């Protein structure tokens, strides 16, 4: 599809589903954009991938999910920031990252068993097997929750890795530090409620 | 402005610039949405706040920045994920976060001194005083870089903090762990290039 063609630095891009899925399965938050009644809108939300679909959930009255379930064009972005890249020249500073962009139209998941499977997958993404370590949704809670699905048929990944680009000859001898500062995301010590 | 009114859980929202600025100044990446020729598009990029404007930069030929510099409607979202919130019932699981949404129209920064100040602020956000610890852009590099500004006049913040909502009475005695798992973002050990 033309809109998933990577325009800027295409050598950093990929349409390989294994690359795309690894980013989607690591990230906890995505940003979803669509044309709202007030113009372009982008909002963050949690999400989970199951096979070839991304799933979002929220309250039955959630305006963004209801708008997306209309089937209007949506664009979803997922970004993992891996490192700050410092060069001897200002120009060659950069960041290392892995990102995915998905284009498509969402639809609402109506089947209760399918909704339950999605909500379980969302919990299991927060913590392995969490869906079996809490009380599952009852019928009233399930009815109060909407789940929408966005297919992964138009998705691409982009990444930068590694050290800064080599400095120009006249910069290489400058007395400045150059290299990579990793950005590390970890789970801290749990706090019991 | 109507479009910055917080619809869902407004008690979690704020239009306080001190709250908004603290989130913008901590986050390294934003997601920018706009109506592209191919429909809604959202892409990640680095950014910096100076006073009442957000600044983005990229190559002179960068399609997103050039589209935004047209002055079309844009929406920018910044999200910090702080914790996973685990409750005894599936329904009350949540995440703690701080986020900002900005609506507006961008314009290109043309003045070379202003562009230099923005690029310096971007470097200093990566690492304090980095702009004085590398070679600054020369005139050719400055000309090859575009900088755009988005005013903060229509911005709002939203946050969730603290433990899970209290469980329903019938859930409170269930033998499941409930509490908060912090998501901690730190800078790792530097790797010299």
Residue A132: half-sphere exposure toward Cβ, Cα within 13 Å: 2
**Does residue B95 have a pLDDT over 80?**
yes
Of B36, B123, B179, the CB nearest to A90: B123
Query: Which pLDDT belongs to residue A4?
Result: 77
**Burial class of residue A127, CB neighbours in 10 A (0-12, 13-18, 19+):** middle
Structural domains for chain A: 2-160 (2.30.110.10)
Query: Which pLDDT belongs to residue B183?
Result: 98
pTM, 2 dp: 0.95
CB within 8 Å: B192 and A182: no
Residue A123: Cβ within 10 Å count: 21
Query: Which pLDDT belongs to residue B1?
Result: 53
CB within 8 Å: A188 and B183: yes
Query: Which pLDDT belongs to residue B3?
Result: 77
Encoded tokens for A189: 């010590």
Query: Which pLDDT belongs to residue A161?
Result: 97
Surface of B (72-91) touching A: CB under 8 A: 73-77, 79, 81, 84, 86-91
Query: Is the ipTM value over 0.90, yes or no?
Result: yes
Q: How far is CA B74 from CA B14, B16, B108, in A?
A: 20, 21, 14
Rounded Cα gap, residues B99 and A141, in angstroms: 26
Rounded Cα gap, residues B76 and B140, in angstroms: 30
Of A44, A79, A93, the CB nearest to B123: A93
Q: Which residue bears the tokens 């691409």?
A: A156
CB within 8 Å: A164 and B193: yes
CB within 8 Å: B42 and A32: yes
Mutation to test the B interface, candidates A23, A33, A71, most B Cβ within 10 Å: A33
Residue ranges of chain A whose pLDDT lies below 70? 1
Query: Which pLDDT belongs to residue B35?
Result: 97
Rounded Cα gap, residues B140 and B144, in angstroms: 6
Contacts of A145 in chain B (CB under 8 A): 91
Surface of B (99-158) touching A: CB under 8 A: 99, 101, 103, 119-120, 122-123, 126-127, 130-131, 133-137, 141, 145
Rounded Cα gap, residues A124 and B76, in angstroms: 30
* 3-state class (DSSP) for residue B16: coil
Q: Does B192 touch chain A (CB under 8 A)?
A: yes
Encoded tokens for B169: 């009475």
Mean pLDDT, all residues of chain B:
95
Query: Which pLDDT belongs to residue B4?
Result: 77
Q: What is the pLDDT of residues B107-131, one digit of tens each?
A: 999 999 999 999 999 999 999 999 9
Rounded Cα gap, residues B148 and B45, in angstroms: 12
Q: What is the pLDDT of residues B35-79, one digit of tens each?
A: 998 899 999 999 999 999 999 999 999 999 999 999 999 999 999
Element (H, E) at A101: strand A94-105
Rounded Cα gap, residues A115 and A117, in angstroms: 5
Q: What is the pLDDT of residues A137-161, one digit of tens each?
A: 999 999 999 999 999 999 999 999 9
**Does residue B6 have a pLDDT over 80?**
no
């Amino acid at each position: 599809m033309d809109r998933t063609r990577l325009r800027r630095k295409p050598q950093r891009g990929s349409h390989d589903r294994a690359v795309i899925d690894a980013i989607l399965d690591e990230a906890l938050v995505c940003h979803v954009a669509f044309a709202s009644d007030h113009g372009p809108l982008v909002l963050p939300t949690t999400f989970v991938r199951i096979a070839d679909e991304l799933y979002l959930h929220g309250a039955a009255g959630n305006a963004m999910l209801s708008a997306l379930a209309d089937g209007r064009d949506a664009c979803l972005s997922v970004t993992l920031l891996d490192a700050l890249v410092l060069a001897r020249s200002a120009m060659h500073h950069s960041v290392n990252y892995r990102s995915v962009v998905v284009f498509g139209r969402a639809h609402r998941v109506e089947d209760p068993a399918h909704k339950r499977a999605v909500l379980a997958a969302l919990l299991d993404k927060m913590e392995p097997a969490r869906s079996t370590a809490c009380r599952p949704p009852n019928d009233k809670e399930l009815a109060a929750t909407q789940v929408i699905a966005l297919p992964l048929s138009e998705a691409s990944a982009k990444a930068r890795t590694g050290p800064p680009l080599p400095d120009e000859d006249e910069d290489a001898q400058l007395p400045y530090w150059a290299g990579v500062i990793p950005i590390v995301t970890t789970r801290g010590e749990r706090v019991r409620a």
